[in-house]
Structures are given as structure tokens and as C-alpha cells.
Amino acid sequence: MFDFVFKFEDVCLEAALYLLEKSSLATQAHGNPTRVARVLTAMVNSVDQDGGLLTGNWSGKYDGGHNPVYWNGSVEILREFMKNKQPVKFGQCWVFSGVLTTCKYKRSDLITDSTFIHI
């Protein structure tokens, strides 16, 4: 679903830099990969009203957005986010993970657990 070939599209870097800019991370800390990864992890969701990238939805009701299975890749989500500068509706765990992995400039692997249950 989330193809690593597309991580070098311009919008991937633009979105990652935009999210870093919106975060509270000091510019001097942008060279610290641990802090950058933590900030991007926090900014990928919009649950805390920080202007994050995706709105999570596990309700089965997707009025005003798309069912998370609608997405055909991270680049499409990143383009929509950058066009509107508003959280994209909607994502679930695998969508958050795919988008975050695409935003990272270094090769990363997704780790999933099919037995995990959201409560």
C-alpha cells in the first residue's frame, strides 16, 4: 500500500518540514534524529489539536472525509494535507505508520502487530 519509491517526491520533504515548523521543536534540535522522529510521530495525528497531518477514526462513520482503506498511498495524503494545511480525514494505525515512514528521509520499516486491539 505505501510504496517507498514515492518517499523522494517533493511533497514528502515539504510536509515533514512543515510539520517540524508547526511543532514546538527548536530549530537547533532539527539535527537530532531522535527528537525529530518523536516530533513527527506526534505531529502525524491531529488528536491534540496541534494541526497534525491525519485525523484518526475507528467508528466506521466517515462523513466529511474518506474511509481509511480509501487511500492508495502516502503521497496522496501528503498532497491533500499540504494543499489545505488541514488534517486529512481519515486514517487508522496502518495509515499513520505508512505516512510517517514516507515522511522520514531515511529508510525505515513498518512494524505491525495484527493482535493489537484499540480500546
The 10s digit of each residue's pLDDT in 46-77 is 988 788 999 999 999 999 999 999 988 889 99
Q: How confident is the model at residue 12, as a pLDDT?
A: 86
* Amino acid letter for position 21: E
Length of the chain: 119
How many CA atoms, within 13 angstroms, populate the side-chain half-sphere of residue 89?
Answer: 10
pTM of the complete model beyond 0.85? no
Ranges of each domain in the chain: 4-103
Alpha helices in the chain (DSSP H): 10-22, 33-43, 74-84, 93-103
- The burial class, CB within 10 Å (0-12 / 13-18 / 19+), for 82 is middle
Cis peptide before 90 (omega within 30 of 0): yes
Q: pLDDT tier at 115 (50, 70, 90 boundaries)?
A: low
- Torsion sign (Cα): 80, 81, 83, 85: positive
